[in-house]
Amino acid sequence: MPCQSSEELKELVEEAKKHTPNGRVASYIPALGKANPNDLSIAIYYPDGRCISAGNVEQEITLQSISKVISLALALKDRGPDCVFKRVGMEPTGDPFNSIAKLETMAPAKPLNPMINAGALVVTHMIKGDSVEERFERLLSFIREMANDPSIGYSEEVARSEFETANLNRALCYFLKEHRVINENVEQLMDLYTKQCAIEMNCLALARIGLVIGMDGVDPQTGEQVLPKDIARICKTFMVTCGMYNASGEFAIKIGIPAKSGVSGGIMGAVPGRFGIGIFGPALDERGNSIAGIKLLEMLSNNYKLSMF
């Protein structure tokens, strides 16, 4: 079923776009700096296969931190919650996503949650496979299955751009290695992590993954349980408590749905039992979330009573 462009969504997008001049495109990964700050698009995927959209929803974007939800799901499938949560915590942090500050104050050294970079690096480290290639392929197949899109791949340019500049993430890895939270070669883990962040898809695919998570891991079109129910529950909970970084509390109050953002300007939303949302708006606020994307979600949540709370 093709995605229908929606006049109602188009009006909301035009309204939310007024906020893009107050945001900035991420440039600490040089390749992301090429994005057009005025872009804003949204797709909504329903369980019956209907899809509505506004803006250029065919445009491919890299997942960046949105990938952290999916790598967590795969690591949980691979190792089970006991093993994963021995190495990474479950608590939100009021710190920026790439902060190293709390790591040093925690004993034993254990990242506070899997949505901050330190925690996500530990999670990616736990994805099973004999090589970076095999681990990446397993992650990619899992993502393709949830999105129902076998064509999903990654941007070599964005992966390389981050790999060449990721000194802070390397510092986090070396700290974690020193404290034996990870035990692999840091360059190898950075190779896998930067490829994971550079996985590319359009807003339709993003919305479909959000839908599967929101439907407790069931693909509503095939009826298949692609993600175990308990893992979908853990993912949704982290999306609520930590998905929008140090803006998660405000987001829960104003919008109230499980969501995950990335510095490319993507937001994946999972409205439990109702629909999945994919947004792309690369102008970011000071906490690294799409500035117009959040405004758009705020309007949607108010208009359609989306808050879970």
Tell me which residues are annotated as active site. Answer: 65, 68, 193, 245, 263
Residue 251 touching ligand DON (CB under 6 A): no
* Residues in 113-142 that interact with ligand DON by CB under 6 A: 117
Query: In terms of CB distance, is 117 or 202 closer to ligand DON?
Result: 117
CA–CA gap between residue 290 and residue 281 (Å, rounded): 6
Residue 193 annotated as part of some ligand binding site: yes
Query: In terms of CB distance, is 63 or 84 closer to ligand DON?
Result: 63
Residue 93 touching ligand DON (CB under 6 A): no
Q: In degrees, to the nearest 5, what angle opens at C-alpha 236 toward C-alphas 94 and 204?
A: 110
Residue 169 touching ligand DON (CB under 6 A): yes
CA–CA gap between residue 137 and residue 42 (Å, rounded): 28
Residue 291 touching ligand DON (CB under 6 A): no
Residue 245 annotated as part of some ligand binding site: yes
CA–CA gap between residue 156 and residue 281 (Å, rounded): 21
Residue 248 touching ligand DON (CB under 6 A): no
Q: Are 119 and 178 in contact (CB under 8 A)?
A: no
* Shortest distance, position 120 Cβ to ligand DON, whole Å: 7
How many residues touch ligand DON under the rule CB under 6 A: the total is: 13
The CA-based dihedral angle spanning residues 221, 154, 236, 19, taken in that order and rounded to the nearest 10 degrees:
-110
Burial class (CB in 10 A: 0-12, 13-18, 19+), 26: buried
CA–CA gap between residue 75 and residue 68 (Å, rounded): 10
* Shortest distance, position 162 Cβ to ligand DON, whole Å: 5
* Residues in 48-87 that interact with ligand DON by CB under 6 A: 64-65
Summarize as ranges the residues that interact with ligand DON (CB under 6 A): 64-65, 97-98, 117, 162, 169, 197, 245, 261-263, 288
Detail the residues annotated as belonging to a binding site for substrate: 65, 117, 162, 169, 193, 245, 263
